[in-house]
Structure 1
Amino acid sequence: MGRNFLRAVKHRTAMVWNIPSFPILLLLNFMVGLSMSLFVPFSSIFGLDVVGMSNMAYGVFMTIMAVGGVVISTYIGKLSDRNISRKMLLVITSVAAIGGYIGFAYIRDYYLLSIVAFFLLGMASATMPQLWAHAREILESSEVPKREIPFVMNIFRMFTALAWTVGPAFAGWILVLVDFEGLFLLVALGFFICIIAVVAFIKDEPKERDMSGKQVVLGKFIFRPYIFANIVAMFLLHAATTINMQNIPQFVTKVLGGTEAHVGMIFSVPPVFEIPLMIAFGILATRLDLGWLIKLGFLFSFVYFLLLWNVTAPWQIYPLQLLSAANVAITAGLAVTYFQNFLPKEPGTATTLYMNAQKIGQTIGFLLFGYLSSLLSYENVFIICIIFTGGGFLILLTVGKKKNAASPALHDGVR
């Protein structure tokens, strides 16, 4: 059994590496993930302790950035599924990221930062879904069997996890040496390297069909009960995850008496386990129903927050991060393929649909963190995470069940 599993891992790993242009896409995914992992875990420290925002003002600020991401990336996602060069869009979004993070390095005025966050970082947020959509297009045109696509996309997501393995701990060290100015300039440098790689190595994949002048009727599609239930569940999960990500640095440093080094270590532990778990769950996804694996990820998340609510020292969070890793390995890796299967002919729109459920969840999560952390103690903020993930799990069990085909083809959803 063990030998067969290792043989399967070796065979599939070789298959992924031999897909045309996939190695450079893996590198790009790592670089974008690394750039994000340097900032996101420390965003609440930047806003509250460096810029001097109140908890509510910080929640509004992060909401502005999330709304910019939803609005702009949705528009870019629709453009990318028509006759618009995805390569050009990757360059544009990366340039926006460079401008945005350079602005964050030097601007300390709340309103100017909000403008930069909405427009530049909102546009930059489209970089990741465009990379994932491009990867899906390459897979569709390759000789990779359809049943292997969830595994390959999970490997793709694994490189983001790899970036998060080293990013937060590295960022903690950078902050000690050069503070947030140096950190943001380093993030901008990462996106500059991405531009060079895109221009030098990425080729536009021909669109499977001409989508110019056509439009996906997402309203008719989204409000199908099964699909809407999945969107709401993902929204709740990512709201809880966002609240947790903003709350942990404050909880560790102001309640448990920890340091930024503890925070960096806490965010670096899960990706260590995510990598092997993504491989394992990716293989399982070729044999089991994706819907049941997604439900399992929600259950892991619910148990994680329940236990996190009861910790009394920073070190106790470390082993709990294994549950967080299992959740991420499923819901952040397989969920992309899960949503892409909803709209198999429009991977950019489908990927953006999933990521917008994530971003809208983040938007509410930012607002709730700002509001709740000004009313409750940081440890009791985790109660909301427990309620949200438990609610999402129950929604998937009761409403989010697949009835007929694996993925509705939406033949009536394009005009």
Structure 2
Amino acid sequence: MSKPRINAIYVTFLVVSLLCGIAGALQAPTLSLFLTNEVKVRPMWVGLFYTVNATAGIAISFLLANRSDNKGDRRKLLMFCCLMALGNSLVFAFSRDYLVLITVGVLLAAIGNASMPQLFALAREHADRSSSEVVMFSSMMRAMLSLAWVLGPPLSFMLALNYGFTPMYLSAAAVFVGSILMIFFFLPSVPRVEQPVDEKVVPVSAWRNKDVRLLFVSSLLMWTCNIMYVIDMPLYITSDLGLPEGLAGLLMGTAAGLEIPAMLLAGYLVKRTGKRKLMLYAVASGVVFYAGLVVFQFKAALMILQLFNAIFIGIVAGIGMLYFQDLMPGRAGSATTLFTNSISTGVICAGLLQGFIVENFGHYPVYWAATALAVIALGLMYKVKDV
């Protein structure tokens, strides 16, 4: 394969990451507002929706990961997942029935959400085959996701608050159409060597690895904190702090913008410092962020705290996935999915915790809980070996 063709493929991976990220960033930030204001359900049902969505996502993504690691065309699977995500956007655009959303919508979302780990696994395999720098390329793809979250949340709130949720979800559907076309015309099918002997053994032995378990639980707790914040913050700043709804999109966009240099710098420094040290810095920043939310409740402080949020998520999102891949060599799809399922499991915990806390105690205690979980995550990460 010629050099220009390889460069074109890399650019396409970055563009698809950006498009899929924008589609997700259009929908996720306003979901709690959509369920509360449009579908008109109580906080407990909002939390339950996140939990059911994440539970279905874990089961389906593991099934797809096991299949994609050993047989089939990962590129075709990636297009199928994006097609299901497109269907999910259309369901949310036209339905306001909670039962339809938590069944049909959740099923389509669960399949659609597997598109991102499949995209990163395909990129990892392509980079390995072409002897490219895996860490930096992965960090650049993660930076595209952060760029998507710079653009997506403000645009999401602008569309939802000024034009309604239907145009917002239709916009996400249109972006998924663009993603599917880019994957179909430009991304390669990477042949993989089947490993029939290891097919049943490797996932089990990997989970028996103490470091994989510690990393998974620590990552789970980190994402529990993050998703609790994402679910609760748009409601908290309006109902408790009396700040404008649009500020939520600005806070998310600011954090995402700051994540980009954090990710790229982490990709540059990882060979010097090692993944463990960077992850420790990241979780420590998370502790500062959530503790800051407990202490400060005005706009300027919330904006400044996004720097620590960006360091936290930027490094965890970029280096955390590679950490799993290095601890599980030869199983890029399963390792990537284990990382994404730590996110999904975190969503389960976040949905239950946030719903329960808000229903019984209000929004403010959510951030005390997030601070405590971040401290525990820091302790667990300290015990994971460097790779």
Give the TM-score taking structure 1 as reference length. Answer: 0.89
The answer for the alignment partner of 1:7 in structure 2 is none
Q: Identity across aligned pairs (percent)?
A: 25
The answer for the alignment partner of 2:63 in structure 1 is 75
Q: CA deviation at 1:286?
A: 2.1
CA RMSD of aligned residues (A): 1.8
Q: Provide the rounded CA distance (Å) in 1 between the counterparts of 2:263 and 2:206.
A: 29
The answer for the alignment partner of 1:254 in structure 2 is 239
The answer for the alignment partner of 1:265 in structure 2 is 250
The answer for the alignment partner of 1:194 in structure 2 is 179
The answer for the alignment partner of 1:41 in structure 2 is 29
- On the 8 A contact 2:225/2:374 being kept in 1, the answer is yes
Q: Number of aligned residue pairs: give it.
A: 385
Q: How does 1:384-395 map to 2 (within 5 A)?
A: 384-395=369-380
Q: Provide the rounded CA distance (Å) in 1 between the counterparts of 2:67 and 2:224.
A: 27
Q: CA deviation at 1:29?
A: 0.2
Letter in 2 for 1:277: A
Q: Provide the rounded CA distance (Å) in 1 between the counterparts of 2:236 and 2:5.
A: 41
Letter in 1 for 2:176: F
2:73 to 53, 60, 85: 85
Q: CA deviation at 1:109?
A: 1.3
The answer for the alignment partner of 1:3 in structure 2 is none
Provide Cα deviations, 1:170-210, integer angstroms capped at 9, x if missing partner: 11211233211111111111111111111111121010445
- On the 8 A contact 2:282/2:316 being kept in 1, the answer is yes
Q: CA deviation at 1:216?
A: 4.2
1:235 aligns with 2:223: no
Q: How does 1:3-402 map to 2 (within 5 A)?
A: 19=7, 21-144=9-132, 148-211=133-196, 214-397=199-382, 399-402=383-386
Letter in 1 for 2:182: A
Q: Provide the rounded CA distance (Å) in 1 between the counterparts of 2:264 and 2:44.
A: 40
Q: Which moved more, 1:204-213 or 1:362-371?
A: 204-213
Distance change (3 Å), C-alpha of 1:40 and 1:380? same
Provide Cα deviations, 1:337-391, integer angstroms capped at 9, x if missing partner: 1111122212111100111111101111111111111112212210110011100
- On the 8 A contact 1:55/1:373 being kept in 2, the answer is yes
Q: Provide the rounded CA distance (Å) in 1 between the counterparts of 2:274 and 2:195.
A: 32
Q: Provide the rounded CA distance (Å) in 2 between the counterparts of 1:17 and 1:331.
A: 31
Q: SS state of the match for residue 206, structure 1?
A: coil
Q: SS state of the match for residue 295, structure 2?
A: coil
Q: Which moved more, 1:311-320 or 1:98-107?
A: 311-320
Q: Provide the rounded CA distance (Å) in 2 between the counterparts of 1:164 and 1:17.
A: 29
Q: Provide the rounded CA distance (Å) in 1 between the counterparts of 2:204 and 2:12.
A: 36
Q: Which moved more, 1:203-212 or 1:162-171?
A: 203-212
Give the TM-score taking structure 2 as reference length. Answer: 0.95
Q: Provide the rounded CA distance (Å) in 2 between the counterparts of 1:169 and 1:17.
A: 35
- On the 8 A contact 2:203/2:334 being kept in 1, the answer is no
